[in-house]
Amino acid sequence: MRRELQVLFIKRPLKNLKQVWAQSNARKYTFHGIMSTMTLKYASKLVVFSIVVSLICPGSDCSAQSRGEAKSDTLSLCFLSDTQDPMTFERVFLSYNNNARARSLIFAEIVEGRPKSVVHLGDLVAIGSSGDSWKDVDRFVKTLHERQIEFSPIPGNHDYLMFSKKGVSHFSSRFLHARLSGYTRQYANVGIVLINSNFDELSNDESDGQLRWYRKTLADYENNPSIDFVIVGSHHPPFTNSKIVAGSEEIRDRYLPEYYQSGKCRLFLSGHAHAFEHFRVNGKDFLVIGGSGGLQHPLRTGTEAEYHDLFSNSLEKRMFHFLTVESHDSTLTVEVRMLRSDFGGFDRLPQLKFVREKQKGEESRE
């Protein structure tokens, strides 16, 4: 808040604190402290205070919730996937549904919510090797960074198109922390493990190295007392009822055994299929969240469905969406924000709630 006021003063020098009071009220801020007609001293074009003034927010006008932010003691994360523009040949098979507008609304809703971090599960753009394809994502990421919101992506298959080396170059030059052989993020008591599921783009050594790293990471998290919940993310889903793409056999065979065995692994997130799906396999939850802007995929439903979808057994197409995950004390809540069919706003649809199980002999933890 102080930073915002400093910018305000530099751009609009004020002559006395009464004017500051008027400006602050207009911005729903209130000064708490000595108020008088004391003038502000100027040094060049900058304003220098001769007293220290503290800033507070009255009532709910300036509350975190009114700005769309999570409460200060709640960790808020957002996940999305498949924000690419529809390609011309795709429109031959799939219907266009104001996809660019949907993506813009999702971006704006995420920014408004001010999460701690945004995780993108791949297919950021339609053609990764094309610099022009990155313009909308670049603007979105720039806005996030201006608000001190972290952005952690993994590549999808579209991010390697049409020339994989150039696509990788565009991706890696923008996101230096995003290792192409997998990486982690930890926020409070939540560990996030992100893997590159574009196995055709990895050498055998890279693929085997990522798998070894993944297994070690899950084992380390399992023994880390500061971690209560682990979320695994990949672009390609292990399970989907999409009529357009299939689930990844390699993820099912090589990556899920450790996920099933880990007591702290609660959620596996993926994209690629442009729909929202919820599966529970071996007591573990899997969400497909590939509906953040790409052409909507029709799903197999009813008796045609390969996997039982806990979200819906009859809805063939799902509206555009992103996911929020919040951690508060010993509870993790998962909610899908789904764009209404008239594009008039987002519905909040609670999906999952996980509670940290106390270890034997443990009484409580601060």
Give the domain CATH number at 112: 3.60.21.10
Whether residue 67 lies inside any domain: the answer is no
Q: What pLDDT shows up at residue 358? A: 58
Whether residue 366 lies inside any domain: the answer is no
CA–CA distances in Å: residue 122 to residues 72, 134, 152, 157, 328: 29, 13, 10, 8, 27
> pLDDT tens-digit profile of 8-46?
333 334 344 344 334 443 333 333 333 333 333 333 333
CA distance 15 to 366: 48
Q: What pLDDT shows up at residue 91? A: 64
Q: What pLDDT shows up at residue 60? A: 34
Mean pLDDT lowest among 21-30, 221-230, 333-342: 21-30
Q: Where are the alpha helices (DSSP H) in the chain?
A: 2-11, 17-26, 90-93, 99-113, 135-146, 164-174, 204-222, 249-250, 256-261
In this structure, the answer to whether residues 196 and 278 fall within a common structural domain is yes
In this structure, the answer to whether residues 32 and 110 fall within a common structural domain is no
Domain that holds residue 33: 2-56
Whether residue 215 lies inside any domain: the answer is yes
Assess contact for 264 and 222: CB atoms under 8 A: yes
Whether residue 27 lies inside any domain: the answer is yes
The secondary structure of 164-212, three-state, reads HHHHHHHHHHHCCCCCCCCEEEEECCEEEEECCCCHHHCCHHHHHHHHH
In this structure, the answer to whether residues 49 and 183 fall within a common structural domain is no
Token pair listed for 93: 């098979």
The angle formed by the CA atoms of residues 206, 212 and 217, to the nearest 5 degrees, is 120
In this structure, the answer to whether residues 226 and 293 fall within a common structural domain is yes
**Average pLDDT, rounded, for the chain:** 83
CA distance 131 to 358: 49
In this structure, the answer to whether residues 32 and 178 fall within a common structural domain is no
- Mean pLDDT, to the nearest integer, of 347-352? 95
Whether residue 61 lies inside any domain: the answer is no
CA distance 352 to 320: 19
In this structure, the answer to whether residues 21 and 164 fall within a common structural domain is no
In this structure, the answer to whether residues 20 and 167 fall within a common structural domain is no
CA distance 312 to 310: 6
In the chain, how many domains are there? 2
CA distance 293 to 271: 11
Token pair listed for 131: 């610099």
Nearest to 112, CA basis, from 150, 65, 57 = 65
In this structure, the answer to whether residues 232 and 278 fall within a common structural domain is yes
Whether residue 205 lies inside any domain: the answer is yes
In this structure, the answer to whether residues 237 and 304 fall within a common structural domain is yes
In this structure, the answer to whether residues 38 and 160 fall within a common structural domain is no
> 356 pLDDT band (50/70/90 cuts)?
confident
Whether residue 142 lies inside any domain: the answer is yes
Q: What is the pTM of this model?
A: 0.79
In this structure, the answer to whether residues 212 and 311 fall within a common structural domain is yes
Whether residue 29 lies inside any domain: the answer is yes
> pLDDT tens-digit profile of 171-186?
999 999 999 999 999 9
Assess contact for 227 and 264: CB atoms under 8 A: yes
In this structure, the answer to whether residues 327 and 280 fall within a common structural domain is yes
Q: What pLDDT shows up at residue 73? A: 81
Q: How many CB atoms lie within 10 A of CB 124?
A: 31
